[in-house]
Amino acid sequence: MQLSQAFAVVLLMGLQLSEVAASCSFNQPQRHCSCSLLDQDKLGNLFQCFSASVLELRGGNLEQFAGFASISVDESVIGILKMLNVTKIVFGDLLVPEVLVAAVMKFMPYMRLTELQFDNCTFLGKASWLPMDRVILPVSSLRFHKVTSSSLADRGQDFSYLSSWLESLRDLTVTQSQVPYIPCSMGKVFRTLRYLDVSENRLQDQSMGPSFCPGAFPQLQVLKLRHNNLSSFLATCETLHQLEELGHLDLSQNGLLAVPSSSCEWQPSLRILNLSATGLEHVPRPLPPSLEVLDKLFLSNNRLRAVPSPQNYPAVEALSLDGNLISCLPRGELRALRHLQSLWAGGNLYNCSCAGACELPALASRGPLVPDWPQDYRCAAPPRHRGALLKDALAAELQCSTAGAMAPVSVLLLSCLAGTLCLAQIRAWLG
Ligand SMILES: *[C@@H]1O[C@H](CO)[C@@H](O)[C@H](O)[C@H]1NC(C)=O
Ligand SMILES: *[C@@H]1O[C@H](CO)[C@@H](O)[C@H](O)[C@H]1NC(C)=O
Ligand SMILES: *[C@@H]1O[C@H](CO)[C@@H](O)[C@H](O)[C@H]1NC(C)=O
Ligand SMILES: *[C@@H]1O[C@H](CO)[C@@H](O)[C@H](O)[C@H]1NC(C)=O
Ligand SMILES: *[C@@H]1O[C@H](CO)[C@@H](O)[C@H](O)[C@H]1NC(C)=O
């Protein structure tokens, strides 16, 4: 809404109302025009934004322009709007009366605008959205980051006038805006929403039920709930499993408690599940349907001590286990992941003793991409190797003798397969 308001200001300037000034710079190749409303040295150079496709308006208190809210859309303005190629407007660092936003919205149906973004904006007061009743805007992507407004709780009627537009919206992002929950009636309006990012807000387990009530967001494919205040993996599954088209769920950076097993089943559509940095000590169940169709599992930065049993996710294609407390990657277990194409397992506490030697090189030889090898793989034990690269420690361990005579040879072979030692060294070793 603030975006709309800033745009109203632009329009007003276009109409030669000299009260508002802006200093703009236009990046010709990118067709990006960036204006500061605070810097009033160069009056009126907003006109250089005429051919921009992205228009960014930053900085200012627009309270004094609330009176412009009564401006009406006349034919000459419509003519100008139809000529513009602006597809995205960013409103940033603004204090803006909601009535001004509502006023600017009236101009948007005549534009080619597909994206609206409000970044660090404070919306003041409440507007009536009645004039927007049954109006359809071309905007399909709406983003709010760090915004504050009056509570949405009792605004169902106000916002219902926007429903013709909102029910055609594809992407909605509301991040770092202290959102405690999404009213059920609002969620139901977003009938064709595919992407919802509500990361870094204040959603709790109790707010999941109303926010994702039956009938809300029926076509949602991507849902990002990163860094909220969710704690129950089970309750999250129970509320979200009705989203039949959900393919990507990000629960990272919530302090999750996982019950060892439960009867809740994730929808078969779920292919990407991000559980990074959720404090997990073991992998929660259920994972998406016997995990046969789970492509990507992100378990980075948790407190896992061992590789979770692959029976739970046999078809995984990408596995992130970096930043845990894992001391060894058991070869057999990882072999069971036949579809594994990439593995991140750096930043763990590897045991690099002869017997405890990790099997990562063997895995690397089997084909999957290990993008963080070798630089992120360091030894935590035994003391003689602490801090050393796993790759170097394995090479050094060739000197040690162990119970199994073949152990050093296999370590050598494994290392070689991982490309850390060359064939000549194997020949030398074998004499
Ligand atoms: C918008 O784009 C069209 C086609 O590229 C161009 O002819 C026209 O001049 C542009 N309009 C403005 C206001 O830059
Ligand atoms: C956010 O906007 C306010 C003006 O509304 C400004 O004073 C503040 O510096 C902005 N914050 C950031 C991080 O840009
Ligand atoms: C997180 O939720 C718990 C209750 O589930 C509450 O006690 C706590 O204050 C919340 N924390 C924040 C930062 O909102
Ligand atoms: C998973 O979450 C972590 C932490 O929020 C983030 O850094 C990472 O990019 C996410 N991965 C994907 C594929 O979204
Ligand atoms: C490392 O592995 C060896 C051999 O299995 C074992 O004796 C030792 O206790 C392990 N060290 C740690 C810190 O786990």
Residue listed under structure tokens 């228009």: 55
Residue 323 dihedral angles phi and psi, to the nearest 5°: 70, 30
Average pLDDT of the chain?
79
Top mutation candidate among 229, 236, 256 for ligand 3, by most atoms within 8 Å of CB: 229
Ligand nearest to the CA of residue 95, numbered in listed order: 2
Q: Which residue has the higher pLDDT, 401 or 103?
A: 103
The finding on whether 95 has its CB within 6 A of some atom of ligand 2 is yes
- Please list every protein residue whose CB sits less than 6 Å from any atom of ligand 4: 226, 250, 252-253, 274, 276-277, 298
DSSP 201-254: S--BHHHHHHHT-TTSSTT--EEE-TTSB--BHHHHHHHHTT-TT--EEE-TTS
Task: Quote the pTM value.
Answer: 0.80
Protein residues whose CB sits closer than 6 Å to any atom of ligand 1: 50-51, 83-85
Element at 145 (helix H, strand E) = strand 141-148
Distance of CA 391 to the CA centre of its chain: 34
Give the sign of the dihedral formed by CA 103, CA 104, CA 108, CA 113.
negative
Q: Is the CB of 61 under 6 A from ligand 2?
A: no
Residue-level pLDDT at 26:
86
Is residue 290 over pLDDT 50? no
Q: Is the CB of 267 under 6 A from ligand 3?
A: no
Question: What is the arithmetic mean of pLDDT over 33-61?
Answer: 76
pLDDT of residue 16: 38
Q: Which of 85, 87, 110 to mutate to test the pocket of ligand 1 (most atoms within 8 A of CB)?
A: 85
Ligand 5 mean position to 354 CA, how many Å? Answer: 9
| Ligand 4 atom nearest to CA at 274 | 1
The pLDDT, as a whole number, for residue 208 is: 95
> For residue 197, is pLDDT > 70?
yes
Starting from the CA of residue 51, give the closest ligand: 1
The yes-or-no verdict on residue 99 having pLDDT over 90 is no
Residue 113 confidence (pLDDT): 93
pLDDT at residue 91 is higher than 50: yes
Backbone angles phi, psi at 389, to 5 degrees: -70, 140
Residue spans per domain, the chain = 1-168
Check if the beta carbon of residue 110 is closer than 8 Å to that of residue 73. Answer: yes
How does 278-304 read in b/e, with b if 16+ C-beta sit within 10 Å? Answer: bebeebbbbbbebbeebbbbbbbbbeb
Residue whose CA is closest, atom 14 of ligand 2? 93
- Measure 84 CA to ligand 1 centroid, in angstroms: 7
Nearest CA to ligand 3 atom 12: 229
In 3D space, the residue among 259, 215, 220, 253 whose CA is nearest the CA of residue 237 turns out to be: 259
Fold of 1-168: 3.80.10
Atom 1 of ligand 1, nearest CA residue:
85
Residue type, 424: A
